[in-house]
Structure 1
Amino acid sequence: MTDLPDDPARGGSPDRSGWEELLRSVFGADADEAMRELRAHGFDPEALGANGELAANPQLLGPILERVQRMLTQPGAGPVNTDLAHDVARQVAVTGGDPVVTAGEARAVVDALTVADLWLDTATELPPAGGARAAWSRSEWVERTLPAWNALAAPVAASMADALSSILADQLGEGPEGETPLPGLPGRSIPGLPAGALGGLAGLDPATMMRSMGSAMFGMQVGQAAGTLSREVFGATDIGLPLLAEPSTVLLPRNVAEFAEGLDAPLEEVRLYLALREAAHARLFTHVPWLRAHLLGLVEAYARGITIDLQALEEKVADVDMSDMDALRGALSGGGVFGPQHTPEQTATLGRLETTLALVEGWVDEVTATAALPQLPHAVPLREMLRRRRAAGGPAEQTFATLVGLELRPRRSRDAAALWARIGADQGPEGRDHVWDHPDLLPTAEDLDDPAGYAARRTEADASSADLDAALAEILGGETPDDGADPAASDDDGSEGEQPKG
């Protein structure tokens, strides 16, 4: 039997029970969050070691073990434990305080978003998004956007869980005879607890337990990421993806105020500039109907295309201590031996996604600057400040890399802004905005590399398309002499040969 002594060097405490130490070894770096979750459900592991009743009466663990069993085998939890993600995100969001939005703050935000729409009318042909204008606390941001984060992380979590459970199912065995190990963790046992006391937990299939633990770990990861983002973002569109299903424009007053504290520009001006960016994003996502599905489809295609090199994993799994859940947690997060292997298809999908996200960010940057320059004295430094913030790899990029494995390239947004400025100068705002009419019209990565050559390439592409249409019309026209008409008569008429084209 492997006891878990109270060793301060191992992070133990003389006041902790062996059961709590066992659970902390299971949850690793997320032990504190897991303990809070268990206590929230009425399970206080510290109380179990307060006296000697546990060893004398192990049946006292019955209700507690039932709660742990439900946590590890929660039906329908899916690849991401959404309940755990929600609880962790809310806890992180309120760290350091999350005051309710005051009536004055809400009024200032709504006024700024209203003015922003008026100014944008002079900079873009796309109309206002409509919907609500609102000021949110960090907790409200978590509540409204967390479903989108869960959905983004789910394909990666499912792929990782499938690979992990298939490999570990044969690796995890039973503990020594007569002891009571935690299922799937050989050598880890509860001192003084007779065999059979774990009830339903003792019969858990190791693969099922791995899936459940993986779901919980991804839930903690998603919750941590969403909670952290809630402390950094200014609105609902900073990430560049449509996180809300319905049209709306939002600002988080506290985050805006904290950002403005270190700037020379007054809060009112910073709020207006950020409102312009939020409203511009909302117009694009609302009035370019294919864009939302296109972006989310690329993310899903990339995530679902993740493949795990099972042979490589099996070769390396011998080096992983199966009783070290902290190591397994790191592996599940994509940073260990279980990292995804990019396929050529994924690489191509990633390139298209990065280009599209850069085009969205670049268009918003250009339109916002166009609307702000005549109105805000600090428009230029504010634009540069936000560009640098994005290029430094802010929370948006870090969250993508952690949850979905996407390494975004923020430098592309500056290139995209230069391209949109060039298109606007050549074709005017209407021509620039009409590029969003269809995904086939979108600029490519080559266009971001060479904005000056975009017009020539677009003209060449249009000419090639026109030549193809003409060739098809000629082929179709030569195949169908209608109603037995004399082809010569058609030639004399000069019009029937072109009818199929219409």
Structure 2
Amino acid sequence: MPDIPFGFSLPGAQPPDPSDPQQMQQFMAQLQQMFAAPGSGPVNWDLARQVAASQLSASGDPAVNMHERHQVEEALRLADLWLDPVCALPSGIHKAVAWNRNEWIYNTLDVWKKLCEPIAGRMVGAMGDLVPEEARAQLGPMQSMVATLGGALFGGQLGQAFGQLAAEVLSAGDIGLPLGPAGTAALVPANIKAYGEGLELPEDQVRLYVALREAAHQRLFGHVPWLRAHVLNAVEAYANGITVNREAIEEAMSRVDPTDPESMQAMALEGIFTPEDTPQQKAGLARLETALALVEGWVGHVVDDAAGDRLPSVAALGEAFRRRRAAGGPAEQTFAALVGLELRPRRLREAGALWTAVTEQRGFQGRDGLWDHPDLLPTDEDFANPEVFARGQSDWDISELEGLESNPEPGADEPGPEDTDKK
């Protein structure tokens, strides 16, 4: 597929011959149509979907057959049965589905919009401010293209990242965020098969282990009412503190001639974000990393406990998943470069050890009771002394807990993306 500006591909586009005025005119018309998509906002989401779909079409997106759907439903049903004796939270699965890669993108896009648009808005605004007023007047019919250059640029490169992520993720909750619709447990059979082949482990064991993780995620986010808002707000708060490196944008835009599509290939998003060193931003990052680590650590601990002696490859699978989440895959690294945010929990092993210590001291009922309120959860400092934290929690007085429950975390009752859509 031929390349077009920004390093992504426009389906059906042919490389224009600069010496052929008709070809160049048609190509410019395609670009203008792409940039002028109505209602695109700071991110051209239509373009993002188009680019992701085009990338998946090139790399392959196997359809889910009836046999695979049945395997996914049975794996999730069995996973819930295994979790019941080791988890105080009941099943959170209202719907068990198998997605292909495009369906993963479609069903998670609403949450990605919430996470990406604040950063994209600042980047697009900074680009617009750098275009001199006299230059805008001289652009004539190309003005609309330049005005939406940032949105198209961000949409195209986000589409690439989504296409890569969709080819790697194993389930709806695979990267630790509540991306899918509430109550919908989803596995991606094509990716599970490929991942199992890479580990040289039986596909049915890998599928069941992924199903256990997905079912555990659904229990946690389905029955801890404040958690979805807590995690998404932590991501959004950190994203809102990221600043744009205006010098990097200015340097990149200086190489762009709006009348020359090839010059736009010089634009790149990586490196345009400047980490903020303020105490507020550092606190926001610590809050986000702690939240991701606690969620992932709890899921890993509960799943390994549930699998126990039932799953022969549980030890190998548990270690493989911890390494996978701690390191992050190529697609997560691409996303981090685009929006300045890493989604991997940095202290996953420490969080797992902490949940193990709490379970030993208080049992799984006491462990899961810590999710009753965010103020009951371990802090970043507690990771260093899990035994001290585990013993100390037994001193909580019931009146203190009732006081916390009467003052829930701000935003905990706010509707999630799914609830907003229903309205």
Question: Runs of 4 or more off by more than 6 Å in structure 1?
Answer: none
Residue of structure 2 in register with 1:29 after alignment: 7
Secondary structure in 1 matching 2:73 = helix
Amino acid at match of 1:259: Y
Q: Does residue 369 of structure 1 match 2:304?
A: yes
> TM-score, length-normalised on structure 1?
0.71
Q: Cα–Cα, structure 1 residues 360 and 320, in superposed 2: closer, same or farther, change >3 Å?
A: same
Amino acid at match of 1:104: H
Q: 2: distance between equivalents of 1:264 and 1:445?
A: 36
Deviates more, 1:264-273 or 1:219-228: 264-273
Residue of structure 1 in register with 2:176 after alignment: 240
Q: 1: distance between equivalents of 2:336 and 2:134?
A: 30
- Tell me how far 1:258 sits from its aligned partner: 1.2
- Tell me how far 1:169 sits from its aligned partner: 3.1
Identity level (%): 45
Residue of structure 2 in register with 1:75 after alignment: 38
Residue of structure 2 in register with 1:197 after alignment: none
Residue of structure 2 in register with 1:380 after alignment: 315
Aligned residue among 222, 226, 244 for 2:158: 222
Secondary structure in 2 matching 1:85 = helix
- Tell me how far 1:103 sits from its aligned partner: 1.2
Mapped contact 2:292–2:344 kept (Cα < 8 A)? no
Mapped contact 1:72–1:212 kept (Cα < 8 A)? yes
Q: Cα–Cα, structure 1 residues 28 and 409, in superposed 2: closer, same or farther, change >3 Å?
A: closer
Residue of structure 2 in register with 1:325 after alignment: 264
Q: Cα–Cα, structure 1 residues 322 and 98, in superposed 2: closer, same or farther, change >3 Å?
A: closer
- Tell me how far 1:170 sits from its aligned partner: 5.1
Q: CA RMSD in A?
A: 3.0
Q: Cα–Cα, structure 1 residues 262 and 301, in superposed 2: closer, same or farther, change >3 Å?
A: closer
Secondary structure in 2 matching 1:168 = coil
Secondary structure in 2 matching 1:94 = helix
Deviations along 1:42-75, whole A, 9 cap, x unmatched?
A: xx6648966x7x49xx9xx5x8765543332333
Q: 2: distance between equivalents of 1:228 and 1:243?
A: 16
Q: Cα–Cα, structure 1 residues 319 and 273, in superposed 2: closer, same or farther, change >3 Å?
A: closer
Residue of structure 2 in register with 1:393 after alignment: 328
Q: Cα–Cα, structure 1 residues 443 and 98, in superposed 2: closer, same or farther, change >3 Å?
A: same
Quick one: higher RCO (CA 8 Å, sep 6+), 1 or 2? 2
- Tell me how far 1:126 sits from its aligned partner: 0.6
Give aligned pairs, total.
393
Mapped contact 1:153–1:222 kept (Cα < 8 A)? no
Map residues 385-424 of structure 1 onto 2, 5 A cutoff. Answer: 385-395=320-330, 397-408=332-343, 410-424=345-359
Q: Cα–Cα, structure 1 residues 459 and 342, in superposed 2: closer, same or farther, change >3 Å?
A: farther
Mapped contact 2:185–2:215 kept (Cα < 8 A)? yes
Map residues 60-99 of structure 1 onto 2, 5 A cutoff. Answer: 61=25, 67-99=30-62
Q: Does residue 133 of structure 1 match 2:111?
A: no
Gap regions ≥5 residues in structure 1: 1-19, 176-182, 184-201, 470-502
Q: Cα–Cα, structure 1 residues 135 and 417, in superposed 2: closer, same or farther, change >3 Å?
A: same
Q: Does residue 212 of structure 1 match 2:151?
A: no
- Tell me how far 1:264 sits from its aligned partner: 4.5
Secondary structure in 2 matching 1:80 = coil
Q: 2: distance between equivalents of 1:447 and 1:231?
A: 36
Q: Cα–Cα, structure 1 residues 354 and 161, in superposed 2: closer, same or farther, change >3 Å?
A: same
- Tell me how far 1:203 sits from its aligned partner: 3.8
Q: Cα–Cα, structure 1 residues 235 and 342, in superposed 2: closer, same or farther, change >3 Å?
A: same
Gap regions ≥5 residues in structure 2: 258-262, 404-423
Aligned residue among 277, 284, 303 for 2:220: 284
